[in-house]
Amino acid sequence: MLLTIASFALALGLLIAVHEYGHYRVAVACGVKVLRFSIGFGKVLFRWQPKGSPTEFVLAAFPLGGYVKMLDEREAPVAEHERHLAFNTQPLRSRVAIVAAGPVANLLLAVLLTAMVNWIGMQHPAAVLASPVAGSMAIQSGLVGGDRVEGIGFEGDELQGVESFEDLRWFLTRGALEGQDVRLAVSGPTRATQTEVLLKLSEMDASEANAELFQKIGIIGPFSLPVIGEILVGAAADKSGLREGDVVLQVGAVPVVDGQQLRQLIRASVLNNESISAVWRINRDGTERTLTVKPEALQEGERWVGKIGAYVGAMPELVMVQYGPAEGLWRGLVRTWDVSVLTLKMMGKMLVGEASLKNLSGPLTIADYAGKSAGMGLTQYLIFLALISVSLGVLNLLPLPVLDGGHLMYYLWEGLTGKPVSDIWMERLQRGGVAILLGMMSIALFNDVTRLFG
């Protein structure tokens, strides 16, 4: 819990500080007088004003946001000799730059964080497929367990190399959510030559990016050998005589290819809420033998599934994914762009009802992910920060009056008509924007509670 709170606070503080610093830095560069730079709202906990600076730096009690207060005639009277320092007296291009600088700063931070992950390097599972889910699109396309994905691309595009299983998952996610077919070039022990396979993801009804999406596609994990790992004392595996290190070759009449297939066979070993025993052929220390294994039937939601009380599957093959300074930065830029575009497309789909509102997440889910990613190490935490930074940047560019994108919308109107939005319309739009934002926050909070406590 302490790690979750600390990692969430650090993430929130960093992302808000970077966002507001973008506004602050460009405002100062444009000659605007900045009165206050605040992280958080409400009661001031800490304040500091550098000698000779007009800006007061503040840390406030309520941390979900921040602001940069500039000299502005619309908020308070401004002395004549300081009018040239007021925000509202600046030319349109300067006001646009100041407002856009916050979201842009978040997007640039995401590029830097992703580049840092690329420079540091990470161990990822190799792009070798576990046995596809029965009846899934992957099965229908001819994919089998042990297939290694050598190249990938959208239909009509050139194939590109695949570094890891994470690259594969990202491509499949984009293809499913954007409604694009994906081509795979695969090789494997069952194939004489490299083969091209088409996954018709455009035919899927993909309204939400979750585990069920990959169940439908059929690719839910990397290849792992069907090895029995740690066994719980007294569990079904222990009672059946299985031992850690046993390699499962066959369950009943079904040859076992990998750990994913073995897990599916175990889960499916239930009939009428009762588990079914089967003869397993295993390899133990180079010697083949047979055992009769009867999993335990357990209820999982509305279904009954088989469990043996043991870890099933060896560690997958791992590859180090690491890039040099230039390539790492370029890939960080490309990934940030791709995530930004996908985020905008998903928001558009949610607006017209083509995507589920369950995709919205609030502070509870973000805090939960912050703690989990921090517990997994520095690189996972940096990836989490990059994703949240992209989301914050894109969200603030939406044309909602209370967000930066809303102010840019006002300036677009001013640029087209030569006159600013009237005070009456400004007030009406602000009210509508607040209502929409509160609605989005309510849905996100409801999704949080459902995910974490449902």
3-state helix/strand/coil string of the chain: CHHHHHHHHHHHHHHHHHHHHHHHHHHHHCCCCEEEEEEEEEEEEEEECCCCCCCEEEEEEEEEEEEEEECCCCCCCCCHHHHHHCHHHCCHHHHHHHHHHHHHHHHHHHHHHHHHHHHHCEEEECCEECCCCCCCHHHHCCCCCCCEEEEEEECCCCCEECCCHHHHHHHHHHHHHHCCCEEEEEECCCCCCCEEEEECHHHCCCCCCCHHHHHHHCCCCECCCCEEEEECCCCHHHHCCCCCCCEEEEECCEECCCHHHHHHHHHCCEECCEECCEEEEEEECCEEEEEEECCEEEEECCEEEEECCEEECCCCCEEEECCCHHHHHHHHHHHHHHHHHHHHHHHHHHHHCCCCHHHCCCHHHHHHHHHHHHHCCHHHHHHHHHHHHHHHHHHHCCCCCCCHHHHHHHHHHHHHHCCCCCHHHHHHHHHHHHHHHHHHHHHHHHHHHHHHHC
Is the CB of residue 352 less than 8 Å from the CB of residue 359?
no
User: What does the pLDDT average to over 363-388?
Assistant: 77
Fold of the 228-315 domain: Pdz3 Domain (2.30.42)
**pLDDT for the residue numbered 356:** 65
Q: Taking 80 as the threshold, does the pLDDT of residue 348 lie above it?
A: no
Q: Where are the domains of the chain?
A: 90-121+324-454, 137-217, 228-315
**pLDDT for the residue numbered 366:** 66
**pLDDT for the residue numbered 426:** 75
User: What does the pLDDT average to over 8-27?
Assistant: 92
Is the CB of residue 161 less than 8 Å from the CB of residue 151?
yes
Range name among 179-188, 201-210, 388-397 with the lowest pLDDT average:
201-210
User: What does the pLDDT average to over 38-46?
Assistant: 89
Q: Taking 60 as the threshold, does the pLDDT of residue 360 lie above it?
A: yes
Range name among 8-12, 54-58, 120-124, 328-332 with the lowest pLDDT average:
8-12
CB neighbours of 359 closer than 8 A, spacing ≥ 6? Answer: 208, 209, 346, 350
- Bridge partners of 310, per DSSP, are 231
- Side chain identity, residue 327: E
- Bridge partners of 62, per DSSP, are 41
More confident residue, 352 or 208: 352
20 is catalytic: yes
User: What does the pLDDT average to over 364-389?
Assistant: 78
Closest CA to 410 of 392, 428, 394, 395: 428
Same fold, 137-217 and 228-315: yes
Distance CA 109, CA 385 (A): 9
Which pLDDT tens digit goes with each residue over 143-200? 999 999 999 999 888 999 999 999 999 889 888 888 889 999 999 888 889 999 999 9
- Reported as a pLDDT band with limits 50, 70 and 90, residue 343 is confident
Neighbouring CB atoms inside 10 A of 438's CB total 11
Distance CA 65, CA 62 (A): 8
Q: How far is CA 176 from the centre of its chain?
A: 15
Superfamily of domain 137-217: PDZ domain (2.30.42.10)
Q: Taking 80 as the threshold, does the pLDDT of residue 254 lie above it?
A: yes
> Catalytic residue among 20, 158, 178, 302, which?
20
Q: Taking 70 as the threshold, does the pLDDT of residue 290 lie above it?
A: yes
**pLDDT for the residue numbered 33:** 95
- Percentage of residues in the chain with pLDDT exceeding 70? 92
Q: Which two tokens stand for residue 307?
A: 């469990």
**pLDDT for the residue numbered 363:** 62
Is the CB of residue 204 less than 8 Å from the CB of residue 138?
no
- Reported as a pLDDT band with limits 50, 70 and 90, residue 207 is low
Which pLDDT tens digit goes with each residue over 298-313? 988 788 999 999 999 9
Which pLDDT tens digit goes with each residue over 66-102? 899 999 988 888 888 999 999 999 999 999 999 999 9
If you average pLDDT over every residue of the chain, what do you get?
A: 87
